[in-house]
Amino acid sequence: MENDFPKSSLNLSTVCKSFEASLPIAVHIRGNNDVMNVGRKVRMALGASLGTVIIMSIAFFFWYRHKKRQYVSFVSRSIESVPSSKANMEKRGSYNGVHLFSYDELEEATNNFDETRELGDGGFGTVYYGKLPDGREVAVKRLYENNYKRLEQFLNEVDILTRLSNKNLVLLYGCTSRHSRELLLVYEYIPNGTLADHLHGQRAKPGALTFPTRMNIAVETASALAYLHASDIVHRDVKTTNILLGNDFRVKVADFGLSRLFPLDVTHVSTAPQGTPGYVDPEYHQCYQLTDKSDVYSFGVVLIELISSMPAVDISRHRHEINLSNMAINKIQSNALNELVDPSLGFESDYAARKMISAVAELAFQCLQSARELRPSMEKVVEILKDIQSRDYTAEKAEETDIPSDDVVLLKSGPMPLDCTLSL
């Protein structure tokens, strides 16, 4: 047994040494396991993320398909809600009395909506020149998006233009049907551009647009708006880019996407302000109350553009004069109308021109009053413009003796508000 003890002790020592020698290997194996665990966790995280993306993509696909079905259903319900059978009307190739064009037909007419055929680009769509197989020249408005808001404007414009018939309103030839992949409106083509083009745009040339021509444009535009108001319609986007001109400078008022049918038994309609900066009625903007006087304010800006040849908004002007309406009011009140008027109109040299321009400025000043009660009706505006246009200024000049050259001094204080405390 004594011989066994050293042997046993030797074996234990050997085992301990072997264990100590194996420690680095164990640690290395454990390190490899940690790396494998990290890799496994990364793969699991990536797998989970990928799974989440796939699930979200599938969910979005079904949501999009559901919304698309809702939109198609909304289009169908909106069109079918108009009186009479729309199914029968579409079979006859018309909608609400207006011809229905196919998308392919209009795509061909505009040469696949060629960019070189663009006539204008507004807030709601692009207008292209086109030519139909029957030879008619047309303007095709292509709405930017097929969403609820665009559909509402599309239906609104079709509905309003089919109710109206006036020589100074643009003629609607037709539109696409509810089955078309895009909402398109087809109008008569007006070849001479917009009033804005001729006043301060690409077609503007000093002296080219004479003051008598500008007066005719003012009278015809005002007459078109008075007709709309008599038909219980507020245009809501009166501006020089929506006043189209024929080759003879005859007016065609366009773009009724924002127009509103006005109930007969109310004084105003509460609605979120829409329109173009520089033309929006400040009272409508502040109080959300739309009336026909909102168009009167916008037309007042158009009158100032006609006598100044300046755009309604110009950020290069002094900050107090960026809006042409503010600039005009300031110039008129400070008796500096000559600083506002286009020099080519003969304000300084021609007596009749000075008298007419001063009278138009006075009318514009009344249209631009902040309180709508102080603005004239469009019917009254037409009456005043026709009176200015028909007056015999030669006879007036002969009768005048020693009259100061300042013809707008009475405008300085502006129209006096009514005193409701007084009684007759």
Label the pairing between strands 243-245 and 251-253. Answer: antiparallel
Contact 284, 274 (CB under 8 A): no
The answer to whether 261 and 231 are in contact (CB under 8 A) is: no
| Sign of CA pseudo-dihedral 296, 301, 306, 307 | positive
Q: Which residues are catalytic?
A: 237
- What's the DSSP call for residue 322? S
Contact between 313 and 301 under an 8 Å Cβ cutoff? The reply is no
- pLDDT at position 59, please? 73
Q: Residue 215 pLDDT more than 90? A: yes
pLDDT surpassing 70 at residue 159: yes
Least confident window among 41-50, 68-77, 306-315: 68-77
CB atoms near residue 231 (< 10 Å): 14
Q: For residue 156, what pLDDT band results from cuts at 50, 70 and 90?
A: confident
Give residue limits of the domains in the chain. Answer: 92-188, 195-411
Check residue 80 and give its pLDDT: 44
Chain centroid to CA 68: how far? Answer: 25
* pLDDT for residue 252 is more than 70: yes
Q: Taking the CA atoms of the chain, what radius of gyration do you get in angstroms?
A: 36
Lowest mean pLDDT among 25-39, 141-155, 192-206: 25-39
The answer to whether 233 and 133 have CB atoms below 8 angstroms apart is no
Task: Select 92-188's CATH number: 3.40.50.80, 3.30.200.20, 3.90.190.10, 3.40.50.300.
Answer: 3.30.200.20
| DSSP assigned state of 411 | G
Give the C-alpha distances (Å, rounded to integers) separating 360 from 162, 261, 371.
33, 29, 20
User: In the structure, what pLDDT confidence band is assigned to residue 17 with cuts at 50, 70 and 90?
Assistant: low
Cα 171 from Cα 220, distance rounded (Å): 16
Where residue 309 falls among pLDDT bands split at 50, 70, 90?
very high
Contact indicator for 186, 172 with CB cutoff of 8 Å: yes
Fold (topology level) of 195-411:
Transferase(Phosphotransferase); domain 1 (1.10.510)
Packed helices 211-230 and 292-308: angle between N→C axes, nearest 10 degrees:
170
Backbone dihedral region for residue 288 (phi beyond 0: left; psi -120 to 50: alpha; all else: beta): left
Long-range CB pairs of 26-34, under 8 A, 24+ apart, other chains included: none
Sheet with strand 125-131: strands edge to edge? 94-95, 98-101, 172-176, 184-188, 137-143, 125-131, 118-121
Q: pLDDT band at 35, cuts 50/70/90?
A: low
Q: Is the pLDDT of residue 90 over 70?
A: no
With CA atoms as reference, report the closest residue to 167 among 253, 241, 105: 253
